[in-house]
Amino acid sequence: MATEAEQSVEVLTSGAMAGIWEWTRSQIPAGTRIFDAHAHIGVDVDGRRMTADGMRSRMRAAGVERSIVFPLNDPNAREDFSEPNDVVWDAYERHPEFFVPFFRLNPHYPYEKEFERCVERGFAGLKLHPVSQDFELDDPPVLRLFELAAEAQLPVLIHAGFAMERVVEPLRRAFERAPDLRLIIGHAAMVELVEAARAFGDVPSVIFETSVVSAHDLYVLFNVISPEKVCYGSDIPYGDLPSTLHSTLAAARAAGLSDAEISGVLCGNIGRWLG
């Protein structure tokens, strides 16, 4: 189980990481207010956990201004995720200027009531995890959920990273059903990154998120898609702010992005979606 000390920014920015972190900080364009588009608060079945205060201390130490936060694969989720969604909402109410709350659902079970409750409450978006909840992105209940989110003008962040095999084909079906869907492709579609860029790179309502994606994958991404279509994420507590900022910035610099483009990746691009 992860400890507070293990997750602290200090152990991530000292020793052999000190020079890495110094370089990383030097590459952040002046005036950039970093927006982390992928972080978790709560408890996971695998034992990892993150509190609102822990998240805030990491953000403060790393110079991150805002974070999209949503539940982990919580052992207390039951069928509707209402309890972990409440944990995220509580975190948002304690730190409304720093957290952007997304709720999580399990499409295998009736989700309409929790969807309505969370929309009425003011959640800013929805998180879906096809691996943890064991579904495909084009399963009928998931396509219906995409329709509901589009009708509510609610962005959906999908896990499209580790252990995912099918991303692009099912998402094409999703956009056939819900053309107005606003989609954040978590982990930049990883194994189907190039095909996803080809399929959705020109779709205004799609953005690719970078958390725990390797620098060489991100280098490819920055060369096959406009940087305006990319936003930074950490995936805390699975990722961390220093190493994910390093991979994003190192790849962006290697790909020749300008300061303005990098600033967009770190904050402006997702900021335009969420204010």
The only residue of 240, 263, 266, 269 in contact with another protein, by rule CB under 8 A: 240
| 234 belongs to the binding site for another protein (CB under 8 A) | no
Which tokens go with 147?
């329709």
The only residue of 108, 121, 216, 272 in contact with another protein, by rule CB under 8 A: 216
The only residue of 65, 131, 219, 271 in contact with another protein, by rule CB under 8 A: 219
- Binders of another protein in range 17-36 (CB under 8 A): 17, 19-20
| 256 belongs to the binding site for another protein (CB under 8 A) | yes
Q: Work out how close the CB of 181 gets to another protein at its nearest, in angstroms, rounded to a whole number.
A: 30
| 237 belongs to the binding site for another protein (CB under 8 A) | yes
Please tell me the count of residues contacting another protein according to CB under 8 A.
Answer: 32
| 242 belongs to the binding site for another protein (CB under 8 A) | yes
In the numeric block, the tokens 């602290």 are attached to 8
> What angle in degrees, to the nearest 10, is found between the helix axes of 112-121 and 82-94?
10
The only residue of 251, 265, 266, 270 in contact with another protein, by rule CB under 8 A: 251
Q: Do residues 210 and 239 lie in contact, with contact meaning Cβ atoms separated by under 8 Å? A: no
Q: Work out how close the CB of 255 gets to another protein at its nearest, in angstroms, rounded to a whole number.
A: 5
Distance of CA 99 to the CA centre of its chain: 13
Q: Work out how close the CB of 98 gets to another protein at its nearest, in angstroms, rounded to a whole number.
A: 21
Q: Is 67 exposed, middle or buried (0-12, 13-18, 19+ CB in 10 A)?
A: buried
Q: Do residues 163 and 131 lie in contact, with contact meaning Cβ atoms separated by under 8 Å? A: yes
| 169 belongs to the binding site for another protein (CB under 8 A) | no
Q: Work out how close the CB of 9 gets to another protein at its nearest, in angstroms, rounded to a whole number.
A: 10
Integer Cα distance of 18 and 191 in angstroms? 31
The only residue of 52, 145, 156, 250 in contact with another protein, by rule CB under 8 A: 250
Which tokens go with 82?
């209402």
Q: Work out how close the CB of 91 gets to another protein at its nearest, in angstroms, rounded to a whole number.
A: 20
The footprint of another protein (CB under 8 A) covers 2-3, 5-7, 11-12, 15-17, 19-20, 162, 212, 214-216, 219, 222-223, 237, 240, 242-244, 246-247, 250-251, 254-256
